[in-house]
Chain A
Amino acid sequence: MTETQQKTKCITLKGSAELVSQYLLYGVNSILYQRGIYPPETFTPSEHFGLFIFTSTDEKITSFLSTVLRQIEEWLVQRKVHKITLVITNVNTKEVLEKWDFKVDYEDQKANGTDGIIKGDLPEVGTKDVKTIQKEIREVIRQITGTVSFLPLLDCLCSFDILTYTVPDCSIPNQWDETQPVFIANSQEVQLRSFSTSLHKMNTVVSYKNT
């Protein structure tokens, strides 16, 4: 703990995981809003990361997101998750129309090499301060809202799901289950900006059906 006190301005592993899960929350919400998956009147604007972001007010959606993201946050601290995928499927045909991959890289693990696994349980501190990270996140979310201009129209009832790609030895929590990874045949991919908390590096990629 002394280590964290020394670098009070820098981010801790927990804080980093929290920030990443916040990014996912607002990223997913703005995708749901901007892609018109749910009626726009069920969203309210609020300010996060210095941006006006529309978040869903539907109770079921918010509770789904909070449960899933709380679990993901836990896994982020334990370094168990590689990738989080937001899948948008046609409700009637179950066809996957679009997916958003949020890839996680554990940066300190790379630097420390094999020590990472052992060090995993210790509270660690990054080298970046929260302000700069938030600024980077802002840029990515801006890009997400900007994607509307090129993504194809989702002209059907769509629902979404969040898949979590974890390490093989990850235990399955209550009410979670294993599923198949998803693919989009003949897809087009667009890489968005990435950001890093100096502990977690997030890469955002959107894939959509090439029509």
Chain B
Amino acid sequence: MSHLRFMKELDNLTRMDDAIKGAIPRWQKKCIEASNLNINHSLNSSKKIASFTSSISGKTPTKKNDCKPKKTPSKYIKKSPSKIPSICTLSSHYSSQDTQRWRQIHSIILQQQNAEQDKDKADKVSPKKREMQRLIGENLHGGDINNARVLSYQIKAPAPPEGYQNPLKVLYSQTKTPASVRASTRYIPQAPDRILDAPEIIDDYYLNLVDWSNNNILAVALGANVYLWNAGTGTIEQLFELEANDYVCSVAWIQEGPCLAVGTTVGNTELWDCSQMKRMRIMNGHVARVGSLSWNSHVLSSGCRSGKIVHHDVRERDHLISTINAHAQEVCGLKWSPDGQYLASGGNDNMLQIWSSIAGQRHSQAQPIYSFNQHQAAVKALAWCPWQNNVLASGGGTADRTIRFWNCNSGKLQKRRFHVKFVEKKDSIFLFVTGVCLNTIDTKSQVCALLWSTNYKEIVSGHGYAQNQLIIWKYPMMTKLAELTGHTSRVLHLAMSPDGTTVLSAGADETLRLWKCFQVDPQKKKESNDIKSVASRLKQSIR
């Protein structure tokens, strides 16, 4: 009989203005409820009353029982077991449609019975508790739930097909991705060649904390420190340590020479001469942290959390050449193409923008030539193809998980140069369609970094959850050649040695791993050297 007691208590609580204690006959209850409603409605506008009456007349009696909007708590009473027989008898009077509806309601009631019986055993519903529950309910609903009516369309959307599996599962599971790893003729070592410790490396997707210079020196930012690791000799030197809560957000080597650019949290970009271990200058220009840097000869471009890109001419006293409002959110990827023609920028606003450089200048125009919005997440991983100057690879974050390839050549130039071909050979037209996505590949994991191999037609990507692996892809087929696992947390950054044989991966597990995955076969190396020398001779003769 516990449910009766429960009813009683509920009644008392929901009808505090009522003198009657204990359960009352249903007809009497109805009268009281009706009168309550009338009182409520007379307080409201006349319009409301009209619609209320119409709703009553337009509905079946089932509705009358159910549509007391001010009494949501009392709904539980109607669902108590004692009421069910009467509902059933009532239902026999109505049309088949109504009985059907009754059946639905009935089944819901039956489902809820068990739960409710448990509930009323569990808590001896003290008034205080009830009140608290009501308040919690109100908070959850963002208002008084008694004042709301919850409606839903009765023809529901279909369930997904039987046996369907959530494709996101790959993101969360530790099993290997299903795509087959193509057997390659080339030997790729599965274990890292070396592991270095990187304590306090910041686990932040939006920063760019490693760079490997042409002089074979690796710069790594660990918290507030920048360390230089000489890959040839293995010596480590600390370049500097920032003060207070400041930390290093990005590092980038100039193409030639010992100059290192460092972006900081306060929005300054510092230039360091690493042969002297001295700071050369501090350049301002940003209001928030500088998370991405890219050099184009004497122009340093810096991307900021505010979404701005600033071009600094490091030779000038007034270093600030131009400021571009590039993105709506933080700029996390920034790369100049190897020929200095294009600047690619990726932001946390999921946009990838391509900026063309101003003719004869080393900085970019203020308007992008292309804005790509196909990525579904932040675009951090950017890499320009070393052998096709206009091809860019970009990778998206967790919500996106794709690597995309773009042809970024500006339309005019192409047309002029290839005009004849364009007319003659219709098959090759696709090559000249610019500003398009050439290929997309779903990697099933966050893409944190991308690097092209200079020795092979291959590209390597660094990933996050669940495998934290590096994947080597054959370009342009995009078949998997190898998966390099070992990091216990996501691979944040990638860098390549100047000779192109070794890839360095910086993981959030505070390790740097060196993979000798692009080593050149000694025999092939000879051939390529021969070809190279021929090419260079050709070049000279042309000049």
Contact = CB atoms under 8 A, between A and B. Distances in A.
A, B in one complex: yes
Nearest to B156: A161
B244 interface: no
A36 B442 CA distance: 15
A176 B153 contact: yes
A83 interface: yes
B157 A83 contact: no
Given A149-B398, A167-B149, A158 B52 contact: no
A162 B399 contact: no
B232 interface: no
Nearest to A50: B373
B106 interface: no
Contact of B151 (A45, A65, A149, A164): A164
B158 A60 contact: yes
Contact of A164 (B63, B152, B168): B152
A157 interface: yes
Interface string B363-403: 00000000001101100000000000000000001110000
A157 B150 contact: no
Given A142-B350, A155-B166, A176 B149 contact: no
Interface in B125-161: 137, 140-143, 145, 147-161
A52 B351 CA distance: 11
A163 B150 contact: yes
Contact of B158 (A147, A159, A176): A159
Nearest to B173: A153
B381 to A, nearest CB: 16
Contact of B374 (A52, A94, A163, A178): A52
Interface stretch (B65-73, B217-225, B336-344, B534-542): B65-73
Given A146-B399, A171-B58, A179-B151, A60 B140 contact: no
Interface string A172-190: 1001111111010000000
Given A103-B142, A161-B157, A168 B149 contact: yes
Interface string A135-169: 00001001001111100011111111111111111
Contact of B70 (A156, A159, A168): A168
Nearest to A39: B164
B149 A177 contact: no
Contact of B397 (A39, A45, A149): A149
Contacts of B398: 148-149
Given A36-B167, A166-B149, A181-B141, A159 B160 contact: yes
Nearest to B44: A169
B172 interface: yes
B48 A153 contact: no
Contacts of A176: 151-154
Given A142-B350, A149-B397, A177-B151, A165 B169 contact: no
Given A51-B350, A91-B160, A169-B51, 6 more contacts: A35-B166, A61-B157, A155-B169, A167-B147, A170-B149, A172-B151
Interface of A: 34-40, 45, 47, 50-52, 58, 60-61, 64-65, 67-68, 71, 82-83, 91, 94, 101, 103, 117, 139, 142, 145-149, 153-172, 175-181, 183
Q: Which 4 A-B pairs have the closest CB atoms?
A: A168-B69, A36-B166, A149-B398, A36-B168
Interface of B: 44-45, 47-48, 51-52, 54-55, 58-59, 63, 66-67, 69-70, 72, 75, 101, 111, 137, 140-143, 145, 147-162, 164, 166-169, 171-172, 328, 349-350, 373-374, 376-377, 397-399
